[in-house]
Amino acid sequence: MKTAFESSLLPSDALLMLCASHEERCKGVVDHRDGWSPASTVVFKYEDANPLGEQHHSEIVGQLSGLCNVTEIPFREKNVIYNFDGQQTELQSILASHGDQPVVVDVSVLTKRHLLLLMRWLDDHECWERLWIVYSEPEEYEIDGQLPLSFGVSSVTQLPGFAASPNPSRPLHAAMFLGYEGDRAFATYEILEPRKTTVIIPDPPFNESWRGRTEHQNQNLLASIDQYSLEAADAIDPESSAAVLHKVFGDPGARSEFARALCPLGTKPQTIGAYIYLRQCLDPPSVIYSGALRHNHNYYSSGVGRKWIIHHPK
């Protein structure tokens, strides 16, 4: 369920988790907290060759360090599994020090792989029922000549912590959330060679003027699939994506005749929706992640758009 962000809605005794990047929207919630202060904060620091990433990290730490204890945790996305495993002791200590207090995660610029691992870890540590998730939209994607947001594919791998490899005795059904990645989605499809394919586009998109961008960025993929079903999920509302997966893959409490693979290349809120579905599954899909060879830093997001609370305790 999406709710327009107001800092007054957030719990006052929360542990805040977020990360900085070269995208201005990484500061969306911090810059608009309007008097709200977390009890303490974890700031993940990605390796980022763009100097704006360092600047934004310093600004976030500077704003929050006068209000609460701030723990900075470096994060290497290129070795995400090893890196995340190595941080668990520190994260467990921080979480334990907060008892059963709420956890607020700003997922605006977390990578989808880090996002899914963090959601699983928090869920395993019984935080789901006290978890708040906030998100800031980009104001615009500066895509010169309709270039994708990343180039090439470094790897296509199954994400640990979720289902095992698809059972080869069953035909494969792949559900692919599509975004502005182009090569990554195409490479994932070619490696999986699914018998059945469902592509899911963001509709409504963040901005009505962006309608059709996803289809344009993925035109080579869509032209290569003999037959596919097309579904639409709200770019912002996770519940919409969870409902689409329920329709596509079926009742999460039932076993499927297909082996299933989920490819989260859409928006961050859609990825949260995918996790909502995954955590309910008796026979969960494998989560397939394709890493970019290089991100398109020159034509990335600019500005801070609308801000949302996209998940909160019932």
CA distance 25 to 59: 13
Q: What is the pTM of this model?
A: 0.92
Tell me what pLDDT residue 153 has: 67
CATH of the domain at 162: 3.40.50
Angle in degrees, CA 237, 270, 24, rounded to 5 = 90
Residue 48 has which token pair? 């980022």
Q: 183 and 117, same structural domain? A: no
- Residues 193-239: pLDDT tens digits? 999 999 999 999 888 888 998 998 899 889 989 888 999 999 999 99
Tell me what pLDDT residue 67 has: 94
Q: What percent of the chain has pLDDT over 90?
A: 61
Q: 96 and 226, same structural domain? A: no
Q: 193 and 128, same structural domain? A: no
Q: 260 and 172, same structural domain? A: yes
Neighbour count for residue 72 (Cβ, 10 Å): 14
Q: 217 and 101, same structural domain? A: no
- Evaluate whether 200 touches 285 at the Cβ level (below 8 Å): no
What's the pLDDT band for 107 if we cut at 50, 70, 90? very high
Give me the domain span that covers residue 71.
Answer: 3-142+299-311
Three-state SS sequence of 155-201: EEEECCCCCCCCCCCCCEEEEEECCCCCHHHHHHHHHHCCCEEEEEE
Q: What percent of the chain has pLDDT over 70?
A: 90
Tell me what pLDDT residue 145 has: 52
- Evaluate whether 120 touches 164 at the Cβ level (below 8 Å): no
Domains in the chain, number: 2
Region 286-294: what's the mean pLDDT?
79
Tell me what pLDDT residue 220 has: 87
> What is the overall mean pLDDT for the chain?
89
Q: 307 and 288, same structural domain? A: no
Q: 166 and 134, same structural domain? A: no
Higher-pLDDT residue of 158, 83: 158
